[in-house]
Amino acid sequence: MKKISMKILFLIFAFSVTSICVYADMGDMGYFGGISEGTNLPKTIEKYVPVKPPKTRTMRYKEMVYISGEPIEFEGTIKVTKDDDIINTKESGSYNEKYVISAKNMEKNSTLDRTINFTTSFYYVDGDFKKQIVRDSTVSSWTEKIVIDDVTYTLDENFSTYSLTGVEDITPGVSYYDTSVSYDARFISSNNETITIKTEGSVYGYDQPWSKVESGKLTMDIIGPKDIMQVTLNPSLEAKKTMYYDKTSPFPISFDGTYNQRLEREASLKYNITTNHPQLTRSQMENSIMISTAKQIEKLPIPAGLDFLDSNPANEHIKKLYSMEIMTEIPHKSMEVEAITRGEFIKAICLGMNMDTSKYQVTSKNKNSMKVIFGDVLPDNPLYPYIMTAYNAKLIKGVGDIFKVSQPITRQEALCILIRVIGLEKIGRLENSVTPFKDDSMISPWARKAILAGYKLGIIEEKEGNLEPRKWLSKIDASTIIDNLINYLREDISGYYRLIQ
């Protein structure tokens, strides 16, 4: 978004590695074509009762193993350990990762034991509206043993290689990543045969407060003494939050119902053997396995004092946002016509994307030492933590000395911020300068790309074909577009990452 005035510009600020850095928690499936149950997204209550993420996570795990010439399903656990706190404090460095897989197939009297340790180096790259982390992992040790029936396959570490490298794009609200995987694993069997497994492909995904997905597309060649088996693997893991209304049953109760949040997880692996093997059945040649995890439910606060909105088309949107504590203003009837200010809109975005404002919470002890960027957003302003968090997360930037925190925000300004927070402006690339809206001529040039992106994603809705870009955004309309964004992040975005499934 380009210049709005000489005093304000919603863009980004200079890079600081000690700033808020919400990097993706990748690697829950490991990098061998298997799947795990993964971990849940944080519960809402964890904003009030923080839970420190463990350095080691143990999760249910499944993998198909083809080394014997027959696809065999193994089930067990994967233990992932990452000592990566350095990412939050240094511009570059290295840390250790460890993956321990222990799985069995009781029917085949088979076991799989694999331990691989990586030293992962990283560095940051600064960019407009975002920053990136580039990673490269080197194997420090790798042991693996597979037992199928009476045959044992032992990894020859001296003749095995592994390459793991990736880049992560960190936008203000969402982290996107792509990791390239390539390894040659040489096994010696107890029958004194050599089998080499060559695997190449990518593992990619995203992480944000409402859903996260990790998917992969891998090609595996199992090269034995007599033939070659080629397999394509499509693993995928999704965790998400969904929301539903639960109407109360007893009549004499002080509220009509509550919004509940469901934390869901599901993993699936599709595989297809693409070479010819007459001894295998059709279901052995192409099949899938899954891991389903029991849902967790959490109650959200009861939205109260909003009865005056019962006939408003945005009624459900605003009640959901109050229940999710994204809108916090004391409800009053004039909200139906009031404009939302720049500062109030940024606060709602910070709350909606669960951005950590703790660094800028002002107390009597730290008040005099807090940084001042905007002359109209001083530490004693209740919006200070949110404006500074958005500034530090590369969502907004000021030109001049004020933010115009109390000025109503226009629809096109708000919509641009909405798309920028998820980093998807590129979807709005225009072959020409015209958008689909009847009042296209009213859209400022700096807003066109983001607005078209929001339209294509289904986040931005027009009013009878019009966008009304320069109209002040009402608090009611703000609730609608923010809820539309959250719904997109809950459900719609994951479909693009699981198309291969």
Q: What residue ranges do the domains of the chain occupy?
A: 8-14+305-493, 35-236
> Which of 447, 460, 466 is closest to 487 using CA atoms?
460
Looking at residue 364, its pLDDT comes to 87
Do 260 and 246 form a contact (C-beta atoms < 8 A)? yes
* CA dihedral sign of residues 135, 141, 147, 153: positive
What are the tens digits of pLDDT across the range 271-328?
999 999 999 999 999 999 999 999 999 999 998 899 898 899 999 999 999 999 999 9
Lowest mean pLDDT of 12-16, 197-201, 384-388, name the range: 12-16
Give the pLDDT band (50/70/90) at residue 53: confident
Say yes or no to pLDDT of 250 above 80: no
Lowest mean pLDDT of 118-127, 136-145, 455-464, name the range: 455-464
Give the pLDDT band (50/70/90) at residue 8: very low
Say yes or no to pLDDT of 127 above 80: no
**Between 236 and 432, residue with greater pLDDT:** 236
> Which of 327, 346, 316 is closest to 421 using CA atoms?
346
- Residue percentage of the chain with pLDDT more than 70: 92
Do 92 and 123 form a contact (C-beta atoms < 8 A)? yes
**Between 139 and 23, residue with greater pLDDT:** 139
Distance of CA 42 to the CA centre of its chain: 12
Say yes or no to pLDDT of 458 above 90: no
Q: Specify the DSSP element, H or E, that contains 364.
A: none
Say yes or no to pLDDT of 117 above 90: yes
Going by C-beta distance under 8 Å and a sequence separation of 6 or more, which residues neighbour residue 123? 91, 92, 133, 134
Give the pLDDT band (50/70/90) at residue 129: low
Q: What is the pTM for the complete model shown? A: 0.91
